[in-house]
Amino acid sequence: MFKKILIANRGEIACRVIKTARKMGVKTVAVYSDADKDAHHVELADEAVHIGPAPSRDSYLQADKIIAACKQTGAQAVHPGYGFLSENEAFAKRVEEEGIVFIGPRHYSIAAMGDKIASKKLANEAKVNTIPGWNDAIESAERAVEIAKDIGYPVMIKASAGGGGKGLRVAFNDKEAFEGFTSCRNEARNSFGDDRVFIEKFVEEPRHIEIQVLGDSHGNVIYLNERECSIQRRHQKVIEEAPSPFISEATRRAMGEQAVALAKAVKYQSAGTVEFVVGKDQSFYFLEMNTRLQVEHPVTECITGLDLVELMIRVAAGEKLPLTQKDVQRNGWAIECRINAEDPFRSFLPSTGRLVRFQPPKETMFASDTANLLGVRVDTGVEDGGEIPMFYDSMIAKLIVHGKDRKEAIAKMREALNAFVIRGISSNIPFQAALLAHPKFVAGDFNTGFIAENYAKGFHAEDVPHDDPDFLVALAAYVNRRMLGRAAGISGQLPGHGVTVGEEFVVVGMGAAGQNTPHPVLVRDYQAQSGSSAVEMGDRRYEICSNWHLGGARIRGTVNGQPFAAQVERGVGRNPLAIRIAHNGTRLDALVLSPRAAELHALMPYKAPPDMSRYVLSPMPGLLVEVAVQPGQKVQAGERVAVIEAMKMENVLFATADGVVGKVLAAKGESLIVDQPIVEFA
């Protein structure tokens, strides 16, 4: 076994590998960029080496610097995590040549599976189901149309070197095939420097289901069941689960056996994933092989009771797999939600900055510990007060739950999301809560088009229906009563003028003008010691009991005897008296007033926000990489004005109306905050 390994990655996956290495008694070396000098993975590792400036191309993608760090620290092996250099054949080969062990497959296996055209031919030879199509590079748009006709519409036009949704088009007729081929080839040339394009049959109502495989250097390969990854937004996975609620036992076995056959064909040693597209009739076809550990590996760890990172390290050290196919278990149901730093209510734009509060739900399962299952696990690389930099991807944590069955797993995940406190940046937690509550998701009736079909116009607050909206009102009244109780108990109050608290209140929702809905409530039976009250709204009564302390962002307790977890925030919407309650993805901003104060509040004039239509505002925090206009320039609607870069994503800002540029208010290279003006029109 190795004495010391280096993790050529950052964030959540670096922390994950360090935890398993520590369990195995293996020392760890972290690498870090300028942006990550105070990052959690640096703190966790035994040693850390600085490898360059913040942009990944100057640090985490620099193979020379990583190999130098290995030699400097005496690390005998490198774990690449996922992303960055994890599937880079040249890096794996260099590492091997330097006498360092690559904790992953051999370079020739990465090469064989890295090219989509070559991997499809290999899959055919290994008798793995492949989608009907033309697997050689196509020379012209006219030839693409002929091939598409032969295969039969709809077809998918794909770049051989593509990935992440780039170089991908679906065509339903000759015109779309002609145009799709041309734009696909251009996009592939610009993005990957490789303009080879191929065509295959488009599977309707497709599911994305993948098989986890594991091989050793002694020729043994097994499959560890499947993961359902069909809940995707723009080809990026959002929720993953294991097992799949869709496939039969026979399909599972057939997919698993084909995945093993493919892995054996490329002499695969390590953890890897064979991805399939599965039709509504359970027909399945090979998509690609990921020659690395997957982001969603924890759901497989939950249902099998295996530590995949440990097995990767042991296999890399030359050990045999400790189990055979018949030993592989499938217990319970696991779900993973990717918690991303993005604002779902603003078209999922990246959200960077300081984590003012980061309080995950209570963990009862832990990375690298397979003894404690059927609980909640949080894999993350950040901590309270940490920074979410603009240079890397948006995932800040993975929330994983394991239940006896799918229904229990969904209930656990909803409860865990309610208790996940993130302040200072926006997160996609409300969107995850909405997906988990969607009747079709609950029924297991979905495919890869689920998000595009159900949230075609984006995601809005009203897309999160609450099963009991009155509970949010009652909780706001309860929280307010607790705060008034403290105010009434403060010593030294002027005799005859102390704070007295009645039972009648009005909860006023803080919507736009005309939406300030008043809800009369009675708060009775207040008990300061036990923290209990009864909130009455008409004929409804909510008996709430909690040991919540004032100022706490998370409130846990019981309502009518049933446990709940929710979140509380004071002073929102520029109003220091406002209370925000968040539960099951739904948010209520409200004022809790006395009946007389509510009467007076109703008479207050509505103050409209300032008119910002003359400005181009930054929709997200990021780096201003281009300003395409100058003062005095005439601009037409739809014309490019500026480009902002954040989290590996470029966002182009366009003029919404014709006008003349008055002032340019921000300079190229400047770091912007949300809603910062960039250009003012005269």
Whether the Cβ atoms of residue 129 and residue 209 lie closer than 8 Å to each other: no
Where among 201, 221, 238 does a domain terminate?
201
Please indicate, yes or no, if residue 173 is contained in any of the structural domains: yes
Q: Which helix (H) or strand (E) holds 290?
A: strand 284-290
What domain range includes position 558?
Answer: 469-488+500-602
Does residue 163 carry a pLDDT above 80? no
Instruction: Compute the average pLDDT of residues 12-29.
Output: 98
Does position 365 have pLDDT exceeding 80, yes or no?
A: yes
Domain identity same for 625 and 543:
no
- Are 343 and 394 members of one domain? yes
Unique residue bearing structure tokens 């035994």: 46
Q: Which residues pair with 312 in a beta bridge?
A: none
Mean pLDDT of all residues belonging to the chain:
92
Q: Are residues 186 and 222 in the same domain?
A: no
Taking the CA of residue 512 as centre, how many other CA atoms within 13 Å lie in the half-sphere pointing to its CB? 2
78-103 burial: b if 16+ Cβ within 10 Å, else e: bbbbebbbbbbbebbbbbeeeebbbb
Of 242-256, 390-404, 486-500, the poorest mean pLDDT is in: 486-500
Pick from 632, 637, 623: which is nearest to 661 by CA? 632
One-letter amino acid of 222: I
pLDDT in tens, 433-458: 999 999 999 999 999 999 999 998 88
Report yes or no on 111 lying in a domain: no
Q: Say whether both 378 and 421 belong to one domain.
A: yes
164 and 264 both lie in a single domain: no
Q: Is the pTM of this model over 0.75?
A: yes
- Report the catalytic residues: 288
Instruction: Tell me how far apart the alpha carbons of residues 328 and 63 are, in angstroms, rounded to a whole number.
Output: 36
Do residues 350 and 321 share a domain?
yes
Q: Which of 88, 103, 118 is the last residue of a domain?
A: 103
Asked if residue 277 and residue 379 are part of one domain, the reply reads yes
Q: For residue 514, what pLDDT band results from cuts at 50, 70 and 90?
A: very low
303: nearest Cα among 410, 224, 248: 224
Token pair of 284 as six digits: 């399945």
Contacts of residue 283, defined as CB under 8 A and 6 or more positions apart, other chains included, come to 129, 203
Higher-pLDDT residue of 648 and 127 is 127
Q: Among the listed ranges 67-81, 159-173, 307-321, 610-624, which one has the minimum average pLDDT value?
A: 159-173
**pLDDT digits 0-9 by tens, 537-556:** 999 999 999 999 888 999 99
In a domain, 460, yes or no: no
Number of domains in the chain: 5
User: Does 121 fall in a domain?
Assistant: no
104 CB-near residues (< 8 Å, 6+ apart): 79, 80, 86, 92, 110, 270, 291, 292, 293, 312, 316
Residue 47's CATH number: 3.40.50.20
Sequence-distant (≥ 6) Cβ neighbours of residue 348 within 8 angstroms = 233, 340, 342, 428, 431, 459
Domain annotation covers residue 473: yes
- Residue 647 above 90 pLDDT? no
Average pLDDT value for residue range 180-202: 85
Listed range (32-36, 61-65, 129-133) with the worst mean pLDDT: 129-133
The CATH number for 223's domain is 3.30.470.20
> Domain boundary at 602, 623, 652, which?
602
| CATH number, domain containing residue 561 | 3.30.700.30
The tokens for 279 are 């039709």
Q: Return d(Cα 386, Cα 399) in angstroms, integer.
A: 18
Same domain, residue pair 186 and 328: no
380 assigned to some structural domain: yes
Tell me which long-range contacts 83-88 makes (C-beta under 8 A, separation of at least 24): 83/9, 83/13, 83/393, 84/8, 84/9, 84/56, 84/60, 85/8, 85/60, 85/61, 86/9, 86/292, 86/293, 87/114, 87/290, 87/291, 87/292, 88/63
Same domain, 509 and 632: no
What percentage of residues in the chain have a pLDDT greater than 70?
Answer: 98
326's enclosing H/E stretch is none
pLDDT at 164: 55
Where residue 95 falls (left for φ over 0; alpha for ψ -120 to 50; beta otherwise) is alpha
Residue 513: pLDDT above 50?
Answer: no
Report the distance separating Cα 340 and Cα 382, nearest Å.
12
Q: Are residues 92 and 172 in the same domain?
A: no
Confidence of residue 193 (pLDDT cuts 50, 70, 90): confident
- Confidence band of 356 (pLDDT split at 50, 70, 90): very high
CB 558 within 8 A of CB 544: yes
Cβ density class 593-628: b for 16+ within 10 Å, e for less: beeeebeeeeeeeeeeeeeeeebbebbbbbbbeebb
268 is a domain residue: yes
Q: Does residue 264 sit in the same domain as residue 395?
A: yes
Per-residue tokens: 24: 């195995």
Residue 515 has pLDDT above 60, yes or no: no
Q: What are the backbone dihedrals phi and psi of residue 614, each rounded to the nearest 5 degrees, phi first?
A: -85, -5
- CATH number for position 658: 2.40.50.100
Question: pLDDT class for 642, splitting at 50, 70, 90?
Answer: very high
Q: What CATH number should be reported for the domain holding residue 170?
A: 3.30.1490.20
Which of 88-102, 107-121, 300-314 shows the lowest mean pLDDT across its residues?
107-121
| Whether 195 and 221 share a structural domain | no
pLDDT beyond 90 at 263: yes
Type of residue numbered 437: A
Residue 126 lies in a domain: no
